[in-house]
Structure 1
Amino acid sequence: MRQRNRLAIAAVLTCTAALTAGCGGAATDEPSAALEGRGPITYVAGKDEEGVNPKIVEAWNQAHPDEQVRFIELSSSADDQRQQMVQNAQTKSDAFTVLDLDNVWTTEFAANRWITELPRDRFGLEKFVPTTVETSVYRDRLYGVPTTSDGAMLYFRQDLLAKAGAKPPATWDEMRQTCEKVLALPEAAGMSCFAGQFEKYEGLTVNFSEAVHGAGGAVTDPEGKPHVNTPEAKRGLDALVEGFRSGMIPRDAITFKETETRRAFMDGKVVFTRAWPNQYSHAAKTDGSSGVAGKFDVAPLPGVAGPGVSSLGGHSLAISAFAKNKATAVDFIKFATAPEQQRLRLDQGSLAPTLGEIYDDPAMQAKYPYLPLLKKSIEGAEPRPRVIKYGEATDVIQENAYAALRGEKSSDQALADLQARLQELTGQQ
C-alpha cells in the first residue's frame, strides 16, 4: 500500500489547466540546451545555523576563481524561504541561480516552469537512496538533485527505560504503557511522556501525516486523490487528540516546533520525542548544553496500528529558469552533492545524506551508530502530498489538524473539512 501510494503520487499528482495556467511540459526537450553559460552564480538557501554552506561555497570558490559562487542566506522559516523564491521567479529575476528547495516544493516550481529540467546522466543518480531522487522528479523529468534527506526517529531516554525494564515501543499503545512504568520512577518526577511538533506550521503537516500513515491510512490514495476522511486517518488523528487530552503529550507541546521539542528532550522534560536526525548532535553534546548526553538512544517511530512511517524530509538543489551561467550551476550542484560535501553536512549539522554509500560505510557507522536506522526510516518514508498548490494544501492540513488538537473541532469534522478543501485544491474528487 505504502509503496503503491508513493509511486502513485509521483505518477498521478500532475498539473491540469484548472490548477495553474503555468502548467505544461518541460521548457525544452533536451535539458542540456538550456544549461549554457559560465561565470558567477548565486546559491540560495535558508538560514544555516551550523555554517556548512559557507564552507562548501568557499571550497568551490578557491578551485574556481572565474566562476565564483555567492551564498545568499534566507530566513530560517521554510514558509519565508519559499515566498522569497516564488517572488524571485514571478518577477523572472536572475538574482537567484541555484535554489535549495524543500522537496515538497519541486512540483510547484517545476509545473510553473520556475526551475530548469536537469539531465539525468550528469549526477550519478544510481548512487542516491531512491526515495530521495523521487522527490526531485516531476512528470518523469528531473528538476533537482537531492542534497540532504530527512527521516524521523524516536528519541528516548535509554537510562530510564533500562531502569524500568522496558524496551523502545513499536506502537503508541506500547509507548503509553512504557511511559506509565518510566514516569513512576523517582528519577522521572515532573516529566511527561512524548513530544513532537504541533504548532501550526509545516511541522504539524509532517506529524499529522505520520500519524495517518502510522495508522494504515494515507493523505492521498493510490490514485492520487485526497483520502483523509477515512477510519484510518481518524484513528491517526485521534491518537494525537487523545495524547493531548490524557496528558501523554504535555499541554505546552501545542506550541512546539523543532527547537522547542529538542529543548524539552535535552532538559529532561520528556521521555520520548519524534525528531529529525539533527537533534542527535545537539543531544549528544558534552559541553553542558544537553542534560541527556550519554543517556539517550534512537529507535524507529512507533505507529498507531503497527510500525510507524516517517514523512520524507529533505532538500534538493535546482536551477532557476531565469538564471544566467547555468553550466556553472550544474557543476556546482555536482560539487555540492558529492560525498565529501555530504559528509561535511553530516559531521557539522547531523544532516541526513542522500548517497547510499555514506550510510553503508563502516567508518561512518562507527561514528554515527544511528545511520542504519536512519537509512531504513528514509527508505520507508512517505512523501508529503506533492501537489502544485502545496502551500495552500499544507495550510489547510495545519488549520484542521490544529483545530482538532485544540478541541475546537471534532476529529470527524476536521477530517471532513480537510477532505473537502483538498479536493478543491487538487481538482481530485
Structure 2
Amino acid sequence: MRLTPLVGAVAGLALVLTACGGGSDDEKKPAETKAVALEGRGPITFVTGKDTSGNLQKQIDAWNAGHPNETAKVIELSDKADEQRNSMIQNAQAKSDAYTVLNLDVVWTAEFAANRWIAELPEADLGVDKLLKPTVETGKYFNKLYALPADSDAGLLYYRKDLLTKAGITEAPKTWKDLFAACDTIKAKVAEAKDAGCYGGQFDKYEGLTVNASEAINAGGGQVVDGATGKPNVNTPEAKAGLDVLVNAFKDGHITKKAITYTEELGRADFQAGNLLFHRQWPYQYALAQDKKSSKVVGKFDVAPLPGVNGLGVSTLGGHNFAISEFAKNKATAVDFLKYMTSPEVEKANALVIGKAPSVAALYDDPEVVAKFPYMPALKTAIENAQGRPKAVKYGDVTTAIQEAAYGALTGKTTTDQALSDLQNKLVTLTAQ
C-alpha cells in the first residue's frame, strides 16, 4: 500500500543532558539497594492520558476478571502530555498513594527516577530481552530499570495518495522542497484540493512542539544536544536551516495559520476531514483514519518517511513506559499488571485495534499485524534508528525552553537566529546548574 518504504532514517542515539537543576550527578543518583523488593497485593490504579480508543477499558476489564481481589481502576488525565506530567508530579510531591502505575512519556523516566518518584523494577523478571532495545533504554536511569516500555513511536508522513495521483505525482516527497512543490501542483491541478491545507504537524506550545522542532532541526543536519559530548549545540547553521523550513512555511502559507494550535488530535481531525494534504503524525492515526464512521479519507491516504532538507528526515523516538509509584501500595500486584499490559497478547491487541507501535520486537513481523499495517516491519527499522529527545533530570525545564524558542520563531515574535541563540544560552545555563 505504500509508495516508499520507511527506510533510510538517520541513525541516532538517545542524547544525554546531564544534571539540570542543582546538585551533582551523584546527588541525583538513586540510593543503592541490594535487591528490588516490591511487595503488597490488592487493588491498584492505572494513571494515563485520556484514552481516545475505547480499547483500554476492555483490557482493564479482562485483568479485573482474572484478578477479582487485585482490580485495577483507570484514572484518566488530560490529553495533553504536559498536563499529564504535572498531575503525576503533584501526586508524587504529595507522596500520595492515589496513583499506582503511571503511564509515562519516554522522556520523563530520568526525572521521575532521579527524584525517587518511581520504584526500581526487577529487570530480570520482566522479560525485557523480548523488547526492542531502544525502548528498554528509555526506561533506564543509571543503568537500572525504572519503567517498562509498553509501546513505541516514530513519526510518519501521512499524505493524500489519491490527490498526488490525480496531480500526476508518482511518489511521496523525500524533501521539504519536494513536499511544498507537490502541494502547489495538487492545488493547481485538482479542484477538490483547492481549499485544503498543505502541511500540518504538532505546533501548539506543548511537548508535541518539542518533537516537531527537534525533528526539523535534525532534518537540517543540526542537533539540540551534541551526541558525543552531551552539551547543547543548537545554535548552528544546520539547526537554523531545519527550523527555518517550518518558520518560512508558516509565513508563506504552506502551513496554515491555524496549525499553530495543532495538537495530535486537532491535526488528526483536520486530516481525517480531508482538510490536509500532508500530516506529520504518530502511527496511531493510521487505524483511526481508516475508520469509515469517522474518516473521509478511508483508502485515500498512505504513509512515508518524514522529509528532510536534503533528503529523508529523521523521526523523534516516542512512546510510553509504565512505572510504579514509589508511594503506592500493592506494588507486587503492580508488577504483575505491568507484565500483563506489556504482554505480546495485549500489545498485539493494541497494534491491531488502535495501531500502537509495540515494544515487543516479534510483533513487527507478526503476519496478522503486518497484514493490517503493512508498514510495521519498516516502522521497526525507524524506531531502531530514531533520534531521542534529550534525557534530563529536569526535563520539564529543557522541553519548556525548546518550546518557547520554537514557538517564538514560528509565530514571528523572534527571528530563527535569535530563537536558537537564546535556546543555546538557556540550555547551557540549565546544564551548568
Provide TM-score, normalisation by structure 2: 0.92
Are the structure 2 counterparts of residues 363 and 14 from structure 1 closer, same or farther at C-alpha, using a change threshold of 3 Å?
Answer: same
The corresponding residue for 1:72 is 75
Cα distance, 1:24 vs structure 2: 3.3
Question: 1:246 pairs with 230, 234, 252, which one?
Answer: 252
Q: Contact 1:125/1:133 (CA < 8 Å) preserved in 2? A: yes
Which residue does the alignment assign to 1:179? 183
Alignment CA distance shift 1:370-1:325 (3 Å): same
SS in 2 for 1:184: helix
Change (3 A) 1:320 1:31: farther
Corresponding position: 1:122 with 2:125: yes
Secondary structure of 2:205's match?
A: coil
- Which residue of structure 1 lines up, in the alignment, with residue 13 of structure 2? 6
Identify if the C-alpha distance between structure 1 residues 398 and 213 changes in structure 2 by more than 3 Å, giving closer, same or farther. same
| Residue 283 of structure 1: aligned partner | 289
Query: Alpha-carbon deviation of 1:16?
Result: 6.9
Which residue number in structure 2 is paired with residue 58 of structure 1? 61
Which structure is richer in relative contact order (CA contacts within 8 A, separation 6 or more)? Answer: 2
Shift of 1:220: 0.6
Match status 1:154 vs 2:157: yes
RMSD of the alignment, in Å?
2.0
Identical amino acids, percent of aligned pairs: 52
CA 1:14–1:327: 2 relative to 1, 3 Å: farther
Q: Which of the residues 300, 309, 324 maps onto 1:295? A: 300
User: 1: distance between equivalents of 2:71 and 2:204?
Assistant: 40
Which one of the candidate residues 367, 378, 397 is aligned to 2:383? 378
Q: 1:157 to 1:80 in 2, by over 3 A?
A: same
2:417 matched residue in structure 1? 412
Measured after TM superposition, the shift of residue 411 of structure 1 is 0.4
1:237 aligns with: 243
Asked if the contact 1:168/1:299 (under 8 Å) is kept, the reply is: yes
Structure 1 residue 202 corresponds to structure 2 residue 238: no
Are the aligned partners of 2:351 and 2:369 in contact in 1 as well (CA < 8 Å)?
Answer: no
User: After superposition, where does 1:189-338 map in structure 2 within 5 Å?
Assistant: 189-222=194-227, 223-287=229-293, 289-338=294-343
| 1:424 matches 2:414 | no
TM-superposition CA deviations, 1:360-400 (whole Å, max 9, x none): 11221111222123223222211211111111211111111
1:171: how far off? 1.0
For residues 276 and 323 of structure 1, the distance between their equivalents in structure 2, rounded to whole angstroms, comes to: 32
**Maintained 8 Å contact 2:21/2:394:** no
- The offset of 1:335, in angstroms, is 0.6
CA contact (8 A) 1:19 1:427 kept: no
Q: Report whether the alignment pairs 1:366 with 2:367.
A: no
Q: Distance in 1 between matches of 2:124 and 2:411?
A: 49
Q: Quick one: distance in 2 between partners of 1:316 and 1:23?
A: 24
The 1:233–1:216 alpha-carbon spacing in structure 2 relative to 1, beyond 3 Å, is: same
Q: Is the 8 A contact 1:31 1:117 kept in 2?
A: no
Cα distance 1:173–1:325, how it changes in 2: closer, same or farther (>3 A)?
same
- How many residues align? The count is 422
User: What's the offset of the Cα at 1:300?
Assistant: 0.8
1:197, CA displacement in angstroms? 1.2
Corresponding residue for 2:4?
none
Question: Taking structure 1 as reference, are residues 187 and 73 closer, same or farther at Cα in structure 2, changes over 3 Å only?
Answer: closer
**2:346 equivalent in structure 1:** 341
**d(CA) in 1 for partners of 2:27 and 2:117?**
11
Q: Which residue of 2 aligns with 1:100?
A: 103
Contact 2:122 2:145 in 1 (8 A): yes
CA distance in 2, matches of 1:269, 1:75: 26
Q: Which of the numbers 141, 164, 184 marks the counterpart of 1:138?
A: 141
CA distance, structure 2, for counterparts of residue 256 and residue 244 of structure 1? 13
The 1:188–1:393 alpha-carbon spacing in structure 2 relative to 1, beyond 3 Å, is same
Is there any run of 5+ residues in structure 2 with no aligned partner, and where? 1-8
The structure-2 alpha-carbon separation of the partners of 1:252 and 1:74, relative to structure 1 and needing over 3 Å to count, comes to closer
CA distance in structure 2 between the aligned counterparts of 1:54 and 1:31, rounded to whole angstroms: 34
Q: CA deviation at 1:196?
A: 1.0
Q: Report if aligned partners of 2:213, 2:243 keep a CA contact under 8 Å in 1.
A: yes
Give the deviation of 1:180 after TM superposition.
2.5
> Does structure 1 retain, via aligned residues, the 8 Å contact 2:150–2:358?
yes
Deviations 1:87-106 (CA, angstroms, capped at 9, x unpaired): 11112122211111111110
CA distance in 2, matches of 1:347, 1:30: 41
C-alpha separation between the residues in 2 aligned to 1:305 and 1:388? 34
1:26 touches 1:117 (CA, 8 Å); kept in 2?
no
Can you list the C-alpha shifts for 1:161-195, whole angstroms capped at 9, x where unaligned? 11222210111112122222222112322223211
* Counterparts of residues 388-403 of structure 1 (less than 5 Å): 388-403=393-408
| 2:28 match: secondary structure | coil
Aligned equivalents of 1:63, 1:259: Cα separation in 2: 34
Say whether the 8 Å CA contact 1:22–1:111 is kept in structure 2.
Answer: no
In the alignment, the residues of structure 1 paired with residue 92 and residue 272 of structure 2 have an alpha-carbon distance, to the nearest angstrom, of 40
What does residue 29 of structure 1 align with?
33
Matched residue, 2:3:
none
2:22 is the alignment partner of 1:15: no
**Quick check: 261-270 or 103-112, which moved more?**
261-270
